Structures are given as C-alpha cells and as structure tokens.
Structure 1
C-alpha cells in the first residue's frame, strides 16, 4: 500500500540541493519499508532508523545509514539544516524525535513532518510549532497533514514534550516473580501482553519435559517476555542456550539487558523475522506482529512461519500465539506436519507446530 505521508516526505527529500556544507537528517521507521527512493545519494543526508530491515534496504540504496533506537546523542546541538520525519505509531517515539529536532536544528533550520489525520499528526504539528516558535503552516491534502516548520527559539530542556522518559529502561510486571525491563516505544511496553501470557500458560501445561530441549529461539522477541517467562518453567529447565531476535532496535537493547538481568546464557540478534539466522533449535516461541507501521500486514505471519520451519530441529516444537482472526492454521498447514490448536479463548489462540 502506498503511504501518502511518506510519499510527501520523499518528494521533499528529492529537493535537497547538492550542497556539501548542509546537513540533513531523515528519521524513519517501518513505514519506509519497500518505499525508499533510489536516487538520493547525497552524503550530507543521514538516514536514522530503528528498524533493521529498513536499515539494510537503505544501505543497499546507497544511503548513509545508522541503525539504533533513534539515538540522536551524537548529533550536536544546532547542527542540522533540515530534519525529515513521517510520524511514527508510538506517541513516546514521536515526542522523543520532536524534542530532538528542537535541539538539533540550527536557528532557522526546518522540520518537515507529515502523517495521516487519524495518527494525531495535526496535534503533533501544533505542539512542535509552539516549541520552535514557528507558524504552524499546516497543509491538508486529503487524509494527509504536512508542515514545514522553522526553528526560531532556543532549545529549553524544561519545556520538552512528554516522551515518557523515552531513553530510560525500567522494571515492569512488578506484581509477578519475573525480572523484566522494558521501555517506551515498544509494543505493549509497560505491561505483559495477554497473548504472550497465554502462550506461556500452554507451554507450561502441554510441553513435554521428556523432550529435554537444549535450545530455544524467541522469534520477534520484543523486550523478551517469552524467553524470561519460559526460563522459569520446570519443563524448560534443560534449555542451555536462549536466542532472541527482533527487527526493532529498542527491543534488541532491552532484550540484551533482560538476558543479563536474569543471568541466562544466550544471544540477541538483529534480524527481519529471523532472516539470516542459521542455527537450528529445539523450541521456537513466537508472538508475531501483524502490523507493518500503521497497516495490517498478513505477510508478516508467513515470514515468521517460514523462519520457524527453517530453524526448527526435526523433532522440535514451535508454539505461536496470534489474534483469533489470523488464519495461522491454514498458513502453517503446507509447512508443518503437525498443526494443533492448544487453546482458543476468543481473543487469542495458541498453536503447536511440528515438522
């Protein structure tokens, strides 16, 4: 699907002059996947993304690219001429990047921002315009709001938008025995996802400890709940090596800390739905996302299923939890000889897969 706000952003990017004395920043996330322009190779433009697959595509297109959790700390105050930003899904991410735009732009520099009406874009533009001391300059083109905002005020850390302490990892699930860290910007960052909790319940009840798995892959790990919760189960006590993988830079950083925090032996790998991982495992746990940015993307489930089949040992087991409307059984049938629904509670279903 064509993302109209991103189309507007890339049109503005195409107008960047070939002036090596200027510095530009493009902050982008999963919305840019498969929509990166091919003709923008200006070395003065840095693409900053928190998505591994977008970073890999941007590098392949010849962009100067950094992959991290939108960490702008290396960018000096008042140093950028323009920042380009298509608003993100998570409010703390948006507020974090708008705050950084205020800090990093030169006096008179510009923030070019766009998003759909139903994403809160108009409100975001109004908030950052006030901080920058700029006219709102809001343009509406169908469902898209966009604006070019100038910076005319001095950065003041006391007036920043509330980003929920975006950079700060903090304990969650304090009412449980789990030692879990998380942070804003991640899906369901400040709670235990009910679908993932249902998977752990089924793992504890149905997984045969006699199989004595030695390795586990948490596919699309997020902050690592499935790994940390599974590590505390008696029927997973034989697991000696835990692997966690995700496409999101924030998830990877927190997952690493959760491994250390719980003294587990394992590794955290940046990958797109497990792409590039080769080591096979005895157990795969997965709560696959079904959104690509703001849009539902059924192909994501297919990618996670294909990786589970490729990475599962012959006698291994994969457990998936998905929203009730995702036809995972049908999608899995051509790939696995065993497809068994362990539970369907009307909201989520947990499905056991075997080769």
Structure 2
C-alpha cells in the first residue's frame, strides 16, 4: 500500500503513460512498497540514489540503477517521459529538473509532483520556465502535480549548486574535508556526531583498548571515521545507503590515507562480518517524514554485526526513545552522556 498521495499519483500515471523510453527518478521520499512491475505494460528505467530502493526495485522486475543521480549516460533528446516526485533537498530537485529538460525529446513530458510544504509550486514554476511551457498546476487532496511538455530550448537553467562536483567545505581540526549536495548535512559537521566522538574519546582515554574491526554505520561523508582516526583500530568499514555519501566518504578516506572498506548497504543489512566497535548516528527522517522504524533497523543490524564482547556507541536526538527501543536487542543499554539536544548510549550484548 502506498501512503504518500504524491507517490500514488505518480505511480498511477507511470502505469498509464510510461513508454519503453521512460525514466523514473526516485529517492527516499518514494515508497516502502513498490507495485509489481510485471503487471505494467512498460517498465521505466528506475534510477535512485538509495541502495535499498534499488535492490527493492530489482526484486519487482525493474531495470534499476543505483548512482548519485548521474544521468550522463542518457543521450540528449532521447526520453519520452520522466516521472519524479520531488526530493527533500533543493539542489537535487534543480539538478534533476535540468537533466529532465536535457534528456527529454521535444514534446516529451516531465510528470512532477509533491506536496505544498515541499516547495512543489515553486519547482513547477521554475521548471515551466526552463521547458518553455505552461505550468498547469493541479491539486488533488494534499498532492500538487504538473505535466510539463518540453518546448524550445531555454537559458533558464536552475541553480543546482554544481551538484556533481565535490568541493572542500568542511573544517575538521587541521583537515579540510570534501563533500557535495545530495546527502544529509553535506556541508557541515553534525552536532550529534561531534558529541558522540567527544564522549567516546573521554571513555577510551583512560583505557588501552585496541579494536580489531570498527564499523561506521550510516557513514555520510565519513565524519565518525575521520574524527576517530586516532582511536586504536586495525580495520575500518564504512557503510551507507546514499550514493553521494559513499562517494565523498571514499574520497575523504583516500585523501587522509585511512585504509577502509566502503560498502553500500541498507543500514548494514548486507554486511556479513563482525565488529568489536560500532559507531552510529542513525537517521530519523525518511524523506520529509520522521520514521521511528529507522532507529530499530539500525539497532537490529548493529546487534547482528557486533561481536559478543564488542561495544556499539549510538547518538540520537533527545526525542528518539532509544532507551526503550534498544533493550529489545541489547542486554546492556547505558546512557553515558546527554546535552540539550542529544543522548549518547553505550550498547553491549553482555
């Protein structure tokens, strides 16, 4: 069942209008339950920047590609339809509208939708100027949508903050890290992650603890790994489900000569190894919505991946009830520190 009205509108139009030359652009806003593509006349190419969505789509018969919305392999003026429910980040939306204008044939259609508080009306206005067409915004309940027909070429390219480019933008001690749009908190140091590292460093400072395997679970651009590079760790693994995060984490590790495996997974689900140290600042948003199930997913996988005598350190916002969720998976749940915004927990199996 699809709960999001905008996604429901999009899926209905994909089923009715998709041709063999169609593209579905999808990210975390889309859906938890994909319709079975086998019942559709034509299956659009499914492109997503989320590893979990790509794997899910493949199970339902889609030709799915996982990348950082890199559409450079798609020729200009070659696509009949592009279907897109707007993303949370403006740079992503602008990038994909620009790319839709490039790859659509003359008179090709961008099917775009979203909800009012997501900026959809402004996006449609900008896209219609780029497409040289009428904006024709339609409202159905909470969903706003438009079918934009590509007209003559236009110079009204939307500002996508140079979406494809990595850029040095984060100061960490004496190090400049690179990052890019397309991932949460891409151009700043997350205060929760900073708090986690500071508190774990205090705990470990009086110990001669050596770790064999450290997992950065939900790594983003790699902050937890980079900020903990002075910890005594033999091997490091970083994982995320976001393509931009994996790209930037790899570049930052190479730049700092940190040897690490960087692996796409759904909150660690596909990992098979065991780790005696896990560092995690789990996300609590799925697209525009708060998703409590995300915290449980990270806890469940952390429990599976942790060695019997290992330790996991989690940081969460104050309103996330981790002290109630974690005991389902861990015998020892210890709140080691809190401030006005965050709580840091130490989790052990025994």
Same fold (TM over 0.5): yes
Matches within 5 A, 1:1-355: 2-16=3-17, 22-39=20-37, 45-154=44-153, 156=155, 159-174=156-171, 176-207=173-204, 209-231=207-229, 233=230, 236=231, 238-355=232-349
Secondary structure of the 1:314 match is strand
Deviations 1:176-209 (A, max 9, x none): 3234211111111110000000001011101264
By how many angstroms is 1:248 displaced?
Answer: 0.7
In 2, distance between residues paired with 1:36 and 1:57? 8
Deviations 1:28-59 (A, max 9, x none): 11222323221355566211111111111110
Deviations 1:329-352 (A, max 9, x none): 111113222211121112111111
In 1, distance between residues paired with 2:52 and 2:168? 28
In 1, distance between residues paired with 2:294 and 2:58? 22
By how many angstroms is 1:304 displaced?
Answer: 0.5
Deviations 1:114-153 (A, max 9, x none): 0001000000000000110010110011221100010002
* Pairs aligned (count): 346
In 1, distance between residues paired with 2:139 and 2:48? 26
In 2, distance between residues paired with 1:254 and 1:273? 18
Q: RMSD in angstroms over aligned alpha carbons?
A: 1.5
Greater shift in the superposed pair: 41-50 or 341-350: 41-50
In 2, distance between residues paired with 1:220 and 1:336? 19
By how many angstroms is 1:155 displaced?
Answer: 5.2
Secondary structure of the 1:316 match is strand
Deviations 1:237-272 (A, max 9, x none): x21211000111111111111111111111111110
In 1, distance between residues paired with 2:188 and 2:233? 26
Structure-2-length-normalised TM-score: 0.95
Greater shift in the superposed pair: 70-79 or 174-183: 174-183
In 2, distance between residues paired with 1:265 and 1:155? 46
Is the 8 Å Cα contact of residues 47 and 64 (structure 1) preserved in structure 2? yes
5+ long unaligned stretches in structure 1: none
In 2, distance between residues paired with 1:173 and 1:149? 38
